[in-house]
Structure 1
């Protein structure tokens, strides 16, 4: 029989946990509103400009040219990336392709090479390369892994029984692939295509080096040359509108179809297709892809290092850039992961409409291009909080807005694996809710937190636009130093910075590849 005292002992920890959940929701709400600051800034700038002036600045020939460039870039790049990624995923996951594990890793490794380093490498091989054609080719080799990762994981998770049933009804293998496999890849394809599209809209260094004008290059040129805030803000408004169009297209293409099966599915692995006489012709695709995406950067950087000799390794300058990069990646990665803890905990422990709404705010904010985030924080700090202008706090806040979903995904998966009863038991022993959370869930979810820090740091290391506009005076990260030297046509001097960025990004990229394999059960 339970006594009144026992009931009080049980009720008190429950009230404390409920109070902690309320505080966590408040913190998550505050962070979500902070993350939506760039979107609010764009709307505020439009209203302050006035509709007449805004109309003149938006509907002008220059904006039309940039819009055409953007549409053509997305229209060519995304379909090519889709075909390439699906082909590579099918070869490495569903066939007896020799060295499939190696080719799988080499299909992800290009993520370790920043997009602007890809551009630098291709220009080093073909100096006259520029314009739309160059933009599409380099964008494909730089960004196709964003589609390969989810598609290859989806291939590993498909139920082979569905394909067997379709084949038993008389469908040929191509028809089975088209009518059964491709529909199940829709979520992966839409998500990867959206990610590539957002990168195409926000990328600066890649297109600036090949002299291909986009909204991002135009905004930064406007900001750096004339500091014409009104014109830059209106370009940012159009850029944000393009992001919303991509988000809407992705949601429409994704549809409302259900992709989950009711049973456990087939326990066996999918049937492996024997390539036979097509083995060597099929090998040409991963070989050519690795050559274009990894071979060209390796050859170009190696050639410039040899041409520059030992003189390009200015230990003091390179060492300072490396130190500042690692420091800002560590601080930014830890801060971003810490900011993701409240909403990750709520999405797992308190999955309500409110928590889902806040989580959606984070993803919406992260879709904003870095240049828009930087413009918002520059304007806010200059007009309202001038002491924060060009400080570490401002640049870390920008990283939190841009890369928080990377940490959120890893944290949410780890917290879901920690039994909630451990928190309740710690609270029942008299520990405060924060102490109970720290001593149980946070510690057991540490591997996921470490992965979140690593993934956020990978994005920070390769980030250029926001860092250039917000970093404190005297900051010279590897990306900033590299871009400054290439702007001076000192390609040999830029080679050590490119090499270091790749070397330090490679382990983080391997972690991303390992996580995708682990999630998919391999």
Structure 2
């Protein structure tokens, strides 16, 4: 009989739980090259935090405390927590159930649904917001922001849970059924429990995404920290209030990250000889129609509404013709900066992911957590931090592509770190020990064994960063070289002027480009 013990399951995102005071494991102390390389990534990730602290305290702690205690600050805190908590809860439920339907049941059309459930990740929040607000202006406010962000964020949970369920041992479910447990109890007590670490890790990314979102909340006119920071920066020459709000947002992101680590807990994990037993599909029987209706509702809200609205505005604007040269130039710039951003981010993420998977300790946990901080900051805060850095320290690259690519690395480092950490943790550590026993050093083992075995996870992380960079807006607005407009910028320019028909081609092309890495991600997860 399969033996079951309680131990952590590797997840796709989220900082690893610390197990010791230093970055070391039974394989010994981490290589100095790996630690130094990872420290560079940590320093890069903390650039916005240093900027915020300097700005927030430059006029003394008294003003910091005054801004912190303003009713406006408390209102923004309450509205941000309400939105992030509501969206994350829905994402965890919808993403987990969608993954269960396509992996563990006999639902008709589940192979098609597996792709459709992943595709909303390719829809930028401001594109979804544009489609909602252009068709239903009354959707503005909390419910509009909640609907838009939940519709585009649930794949952050769906994808890792699919991977977790495919890797989980179906024998545990068979044992539960043999003990007389019903389908609902098996689903909640065994199946989803095995996927809980992956669900909470995806929930962390969804929560940080909501906290940092600017496009949807601005279009829906719902006040959160991101919109409050933007308004403060635009409304006054004094940057202190905006910096204080940014510090509060950083603290909130840290609390969310720590909360995710605690909520992840310890999941049931199989320890036995041989391969994991595949699970028998759950026969839905008479429940097929309700579950098909659930799937249709999810796909309709997340993909149907944007597709219908964009098609509508494309037809409306067809008489105006397409500016193909401008569309092509924006697409080329988007592809270029997305590729460079994905490359730099992945290079910086590799040491952090390896350290988190193989050399866990307090120092490693702190390093990994530091990479998650900036992910919760709005792109405008990260952009202004790098504007400050460029003007003061690196004037040669201010408003040049290298500084823009560095901003992408700061913003999206956690996306690659989580994927790489999970891939490395899933590879057999014994192969590295064999390499060491044959006389290869730690660095040679890293290059010849660890990274090649984790290559699918590295590629998945790079793809996720690529599609996220392609959708990024605020930091690109501040840091792009003059005249280099991405598809997101051209879309935002037309939308801001109320030119919905002119914006539609840019939105459609942006979604198509982002859909390619999403499909690759989905294929990698399903394999």
Q: TM-score, normalised by structure 2?
A: 0.85
Q: Distance in 1 between matches of 2:345 and 2:210?
A: 23
Give 3-state SS (helix, strand or coil) of 1:36's partner.
helix
Of residues 87, 100, 117, the one that matches 2:97 is 87
Please name the residue that 2:196 is paired with.
186
Match in the other structure for 1:497: 506
- Paired positions, count: 497
| Equivalent position of 1:404 in the other structure | 413
1:216/1:264 CA distance change after superposition, 3 Å: farther
Change (3 A) 1:162 1:27: closer
Does the 8 Å CA contact 1:427/1:433 hold for their aligned counterparts?
no
| Residue 124 (structure 1) aligned to one of 127, 134, 140 | 134
What is the CA distance between 1:179 and its match in structure 2?
3.0
Cα displacement string for residues 54-76 of structure 1 (whole angstroms, at most 9, x for unaligned residues): 12212112222212221221232
Residue in 2 that maps onto 1:199: 209
Judge which range, 130-139 or 382-391, deviates more: 382-391
Query: Once the 2 structures are TM-superposed, how far is the Cα of residue 258 of structure 1 from its aligned partner?
Result: 4.9
Q: Is the 8 A contact 1:427 1:436 kept in 2?
A: no
1:169 is aligned to 179
CA distance in 2, matches of 1:275, 1:343: 42
Across the aligned residues of Structure 1 and Structure 2, the Cα RMSD in angstroms comes to 3.2
Residues 278, 436 of structure 1: alpha-carbon distance in 2 compared, 3 angstrom cutoff: closer
2:330 aligned to which of 317, 321, 325: 321
What CA deviation, in whole Å up to 9, does each residue of 1:51-110 have, x standing for no partner? 211122121122222122212212322222232223222222222110111111111111
* Equivalence for 1:261: 270
The aligned counterpart of 1:515 is 524
Unaligned segments of structure 2, at least 5 residues: 1-27
> In 2, are the aligned partners of 1:160 and 1:266 still within 8 Å (CA)?
no
Moved more, 290-299 or 152-161: 152-161
- Equivalent residue, structure 1, for 2:286: 277
The reply on whether 1:76 has 2:100 as its aligned counterpart is no
| 2:301 paired residue number | 292
Please state how far the C-alpha of 1:355 moved relative to its aligned partner.
5.1
Deviation at 1:331, TM superposition (A): 1.7
Deviation at residue 346 of structure 1 after TM alignment: 5.4
Counterpart check, 1:392 vs 2:398:
no
C-alpha separation in 2, matches of 1:157 and 1:348: 18
Q: 1:272–1:43: structure 2 CA closer, same or farther, 3 Å change rule? A: same
Distance in 2, matches of 1:290 and 1:109, equals 9
Compared with structure 1, are the counterparts of its residues 390 and 426 closer, same or farther at alpha carbon in structure 2 (3 Å cutoff)?
farther
User: How far, CA to CA, are the matches of 1:441 and 1:190 in structure 2?
Assistant: 26
Alpha-carbon displacement from aligned partner over 1:174-229 (angstroms, at most 9, x marks no partner) = 23333333433321221122111111110001111111111101212222343431
> Which residue of structure 1 aligns with residue 39 of structure 2?
29
Say if 1:424 and 1:90 are closer, same or farther in 2 by CA, change over 3 A: closer
TM-aligned CA deviation for residue 375 of structure 1: 2.9
Q: Aligned equivalents of 1:366 and 1:129: distance in 2?
A: 27
Partner of 1:12: none
Counterpart-to-counterpart distance in 1, 2:297 and 2:326: 36
Alignment partner of 1:59 out of 64, 69, 74: 69
- 1:308 is displaced (CA, Å) by 0.7
Distance in 2 (alpha carbons) for counterparts of 1:55 and 1:348:
39
Partner SS state of residue 260, structure 1: strand
Query: Over alpha carbons, which structure has the higher Rg?
Result: 1
> Kindly tell me: are residues 104 and 374 of structure 1, through their superposed partners in 2, closer, same or farther at Cα, counting changes over 3 Å?
same
Quote the Cα distance in structure 1 between the aligned partners of 2:442 and 2:85: 51
Q: Which moved more, 1:161-170 or 1:46-55?
A: 161-170
2:348 — aligned with what? 339
Cα distance in 2 for partners of 1:105, 1:406 equals 20
Deviation, structure 1 residue 356: 5.5
Distance 1:216 1:455 in 2: 23
Q: For residue 402 of structure 1, report the CA deviation from its aligned partner.
A: 1.8
Q: Does 1:46 align with 2:84?
A: no
CA–CA distance in 2 between the matches of 1:481 and 1:390? 18
Deviations 1:22-72 (A, max 9, x none): 344323323322221222222333332322111221211222221222122
CA distance in 2, matches of 1:492, 1:154: 42
* Correspondent of 1:311 among 288, 304, 320: 320
Answer whether contact 1:95 1:273 (CA < 8 A) is retained. Answer: yes
Bigger shift: residues 116-125 or 415-424: 415-424
Greater RCO structure (CA 8 Å; 6+ sep): 2
Q: Which moved more, 1:473-482 or 1:498-507?
A: 473-482
**Using a 3 Å threshold, how does the CA distance of structure 1 residues 456 and 292 change in structure 2: closer, same or farther?**
same
Aligned to 1:156: 166
1:185 and 1:409 map into 2 onto residues whose CA distance is 16
Within the alignment, does 1:242 sit opposite 2:271 as a pair? no
Contact map agreement 1:161 1:265 (CA 8 A) in 2? no
Report if the CA contact (8 A) 1:414-1:447 is conserved: no
Task: Quickly say closer, same or farther: Cα 1:425–1:260, change in 2 above 3 A.
Answer: closer
| Cα distance in 1, alignment partners of residues 250 and 229 from structure 2 | 12
Q: Over residues 438-491 of structure 1, what are the superposed CA-to-partner deviations in whole Å (9 max), with x where a residue is unaligned?
A: 788777876655444332211100111211222222231111111111000000
Normalising by the residue count of structure 1, what TM-score does the alignment of the two structures yield?
A: 0.85
Q: Take 2:521 and 2:315, find their aligned partners in 1: how far apart are those partners?
A: 32
Change (3 A) 1:146 1:476: same
Offset, 1:349: 7.5
